[in-house]
Structure 1
Amino acid sequence: WGIPQIDETRVAKVDSEMLPPGAKDLALLKSGTKLLAIGERVVNHWGDVLTGLSEAQTGPLRITGENPETIVEIKIPASAIDRQSIAEALYLWQDNVIGVVNPGSPAEKGGLREGDRVVKIDGILVSNWYDMTDLVRSNPDVQLEFALEREGRELTRFVTPELIVEGGAELGLIGTLAPALAYSYEKVPLLSAVQLGYQETLAWSGMILTFVKDLFTGGVSSRDIGSVLAIGQIAGQTVRQGIEFYLRFVALFSINLAILNLLPIPVLDGGHLMFLGLEAIRGKPLSLGTKLVLSKIGFIFLITIMVLALYNDIARLMGM
C-alpha cells in the first residue's frame, strides 16, 4: 500500500497543439519512446515523468529517451498553466488490447471481446490504444473493419461507432475500455498520506463540480448520466481489476454523493443550507408555503434526473 504509481514510461503520442512555445520539439518523440530521464531526474514510472516536468526549473530541459535519436531539448515556461499543458500533451502508453467491452455497445454487437488485440482498422496499422480511439472517434456512424488477434488467431470483425455529440463535435464511440494499467506502490508516512488524500479529494470534487456545470451548459451530453445500473457495471469492472481499484471507486462514489447532496436543490442538504442563507439575507424566515413549493420543485427535478439516468442505462443495455 502507498501512492499508486503507473509502471510505464513509454509515450503513446504527443498532442502538439497543447504544447506552449519553446516546448514544440517534444512532438518529435515517436510513439513507443521509453523515457529514461527528465533533466537529471531518472524516471522509473509515469509519476516520475510528471514530477520531473512540474518541478523542473524555468529554462532549458533535456528529455532523454532510450535511443540517441529520442533526446529532445525544450524550454520550460514560468507559467504554471503552460507547464501543466506540457504534462497533459504527453499521452501514457497503453497497449492496443481491449480490456472491457460494455454490454449492448457497438463493440459487443460487432463481435469484439475482452483480450482482443487490435492490429489494424480499415487497413491502418494500430500500435497503441490511442491509435485505435483516434480512428474510432473520427468515424462516427461509419462501419470500420477491425483486424484482430485473438488467442493466436487472426480474424476480422466489423463495428460501426455510435455517433455522440461532445462539446459540440460529432464523435464515434464503440463502448470499450483499455486494459488495467500495472501499478507499483510508493510508501509514504502517515501524515503525508493524509495530506495526499485531502489533495486528491479536492481534485475529484473539482472534477465532479465541473461535470455538473458542463451538464447544464451543454459541455457534456445528458446521455452521460447513469443510474444504479451503470454504478453496478463500473463496480463490477473495478472488482475484476483488483481491490485497490474497487476501493478507489468506493471513495470516489462517496465523494460524488457528498458533493451532489450539497447542491442547492430543495429536499437535499444543500437546499436546506440555501433556505438558511435566504433567511439570513431577508432577516426573517421563509413561509412554510414557499418552502413546500420549492421542495416540490426540487423533488420533481430529482425524480426527472433519476428517470433520465435509468432510461440512459436501459438504452445502453439495449443498444439504443
Structure 2
Amino acid sequence: MGFLVALLALSVMIIFHEMGHFLAARFFGVTVERFSVGFGPILLKKRCCGTEWAISTFPLGGYVKMKGQDDTDPLKTSSDPDSYTAKKPWQRIIILLAGPFANFLLAFLLYLIVALAGYNTLAPKIGKVLPNSAAQAAGLKPGDEIVAIDNHPIKTWEDLSRIIAHANHPLYITVKRRQETLHLTIKPKMTKTKNIFGEEVKRPMIGIAPAQEYIKVKLSLLQAINMAWDKTVEATKFIVVGLEKLLEGVVSPKEIGGVITIMDVTAKASQVGIVALLSLSALISVNLGILNLLPIPALDGGHIIFNLYEWITNRAPSQEVLYRLTLAGWVFLVGLMGLGLYNDINRLLGASHG
C-alpha cells in the first residue's frame, strides 16, 4: 500500500511539472504533440484538443513533446509558426521555467493544506535542562513552559528555537511553572554543535531539550499562507545549500539517493500520516524544481542557458556544440542516476544484513 501511495505522490509531482510546460506552451501557441505520464512504450492513449494524452509503461517520469522539439534529437527544429523552435528565445525560456515553477507551486499548495488542516508539533515545554547551561543558571526547570520571549508570544517549540538561534542579546523570558508565572533573563551561550550536514558550527543556545508533549496548531487563512510561503522558501534554501555542500565535499556522494530511496522514504511517510506524507511530498517537489533548473544540458536549466545565449547574442548555438553538450548532459544524468541506484542498492543490502 505504501508503495502505491509513493508512486501516486511521485506521479502527481511529475504531472504538475509537465502541466506547467504544457500550459505555458499552449499560451504561446505551441502545439503539444504528446503529454505522457511515464516513459517507454505507450499503454493507453487518447487524442483530445490537438494533443495525444498517453500513459506509458514506466510510471516514474513523464514528458511533454512539443512540435519542433525532441530531447532525444537536440538538432530537431521546425519553422512552422506553432512550433517551439519558431518562438522567440524569451518565450521558450518562460515555457522551460513553467515546469519547475509548477513544482514550487505544488509545494506551496501542499504546505498550505497542512497549515489549514492543523498539524501536531512540540509544545514549548522543557523536558531537560543541561548542567552548567545558561538555562540552569537562570533557574529554568523541567516541566516549565515558555510562553513568551521579549514579550513575543511563544506557541510552539519551533517558535522558541527560531528566536534563540538568532539571539545576540540577553532574552527576557516569561515562564509558566504550575500555577505561577515567572520572568527570567537568560543570556544564550555560543555553543559548538553540528548542523544537519554534519559540519561543526557555533550558535546561540541556552541548554534545554523539549518534553515530548505535542499540541495541535490551527492557523487562519492568512497565517497558513505565510507559513506555506516560509516553508517553501525554507525547503528551497535547504536543497540549494545541500547541493553546495555536495559540491564542496562536505556531503558525501554516498548520500545521493535514487528513485528507490525516494519511493521508500515516501512510502514510510505515508504510514506515519497524511501530514508527514504531504510535507515530504512538498520537499521532494521543491527538489524536482531545483534539480530541473540546474544548468545541465538535457535539463530545463540547460535549455534555458542555450536560449539565454541566443537571446543575448541574437544567434543560436552551433548545432555541433548543441549536440555535444546535450550528449554530455545525458551522460552526466545517466551517471548520476546510476550512482543513485548504486547507493540505493547498497542501502538495501546494508539494511538486509543489519
TM class, shorter-chain normalised?
Answer: 0.5 to 0.7
Q: Which has the higher contact order (CA 8 A, sep 6+)?
A: 2
Whether the 8 Å contact between 2:148 and 2:154 is mirrored in structure 1 is yes
Tell me, yes or no, if structure 1 residue 37 matches structure 2 residue 147: yes
Higher helix share: 2
Determine the C-alpha separation between the residues in 1 that align with 2:129 and 2:263. Answer: 33
CA contact (8 A) 1:35 1:43 kept: no
Matched, 1:7 2:141: no
The correspondence of residues 1-320 of structure 1 with structure 2, limited to 5 A, is: 1-2=116-117, 4=119, 6-8=121-123, 9-12=125-128, 25-26=134-135, 28=137, 32=142, 34-39=144-149, 40=151, 43-50=154-161, 53=164, 61-62=172-173, 64=175, 66=177, 73-75=185-187, 85-86=203-204, 92-93=209-210, 182-189=214-221, 191-319=222-350
TM-score by length of 2: 0.52
Inter-partner Cα distance in structure 2 for 1:314 and 1:282 = 46
1:59 to partner: Cα distance = 5.3
| SS in structure 2 of the partner of residue 201 of structure 1 | helix
- 1:239 partner SS: helix
In 2: Cα distance, 1:2 partner to 1:91 partner:
30
The CA deviation string for residues 155-207 of structure 1, in whole angstroms up to 9 with x for no partner, is xxxxxxxxxxxxxxxxxxxxxxxxxx845122212x44223212211111111
In 2: Cα distance, 1:90 partner to 1:2 partner: 33
Find the aligned partners of 1:284 and 1:15 in 2 and give their Cα distance: 68
Task: Say if 1:7 and 1:46, in contact at 8 Å, map to a contact too.
Answer: yes
SS of equivalent to 2:204? helix
Give 1:7's aligned amino acid: L
Alignment partner of 2:144: what SS?
strand
Q: What SS does the aligned partner of 2:251 have?
A: coil
Rounded Cα–Cα distance in structure 1 between residues aligned with 2:266 and 2:323: 37
Aligned amino acid, residue 64 of structure 1: V
How many residues of Structure 1 are paired with residues of Structure 2 in the alignment?
A: 219
The 3-state SS of whatever aligns with 1:264 is coil
Name the TM-score, length of structure 1 as normaliser.
0.57
Provide Cα deviations, 1:218-267, integer angstroms capped at 9, x if missing partner: 01111111112111221122112111111111111111111111111100
Q: Distance in 1 between matches of 2:141 and 2:253?
A: 35
Q: By how many angstroms is 1:25 displaced?
A: 2.2
Match of 1:136 in 2: none
Once the two structures are aligned, what percentage of the paired residues are identical?
26
Q: Judge conservation of contact 2:134–2:188 (CA < 8 Å) in 1.
A: no
| Runs (5+) with no aligned partner, structure 2 | 1-115, 190-201
Q: Could you say what secondary structure the match of 2:347 adopts?
A: helix
> Is the 2:257–2:343 contact (alpha carbons within 8 Å) kept by the matching residues of 1?
yes
Q: Which residue of 2 aligns with 1:173?
A: none
Alpha-carbon distance in structure 1 between the residues aligned to 2:307 and 2:203: 41
SS at the partner of 1:267?
coil
User: Residue type of the partner of 2:148?
Assistant: I
Pair 1:249–1:43, CA change in 2 (3 A)? same
Structure 1: tracts of 5 or more residues without a match: 17-23, 78-83, 96-180
Q: What amino acid is aligned across from residue 305 of structure 1 in structure 2? A: L
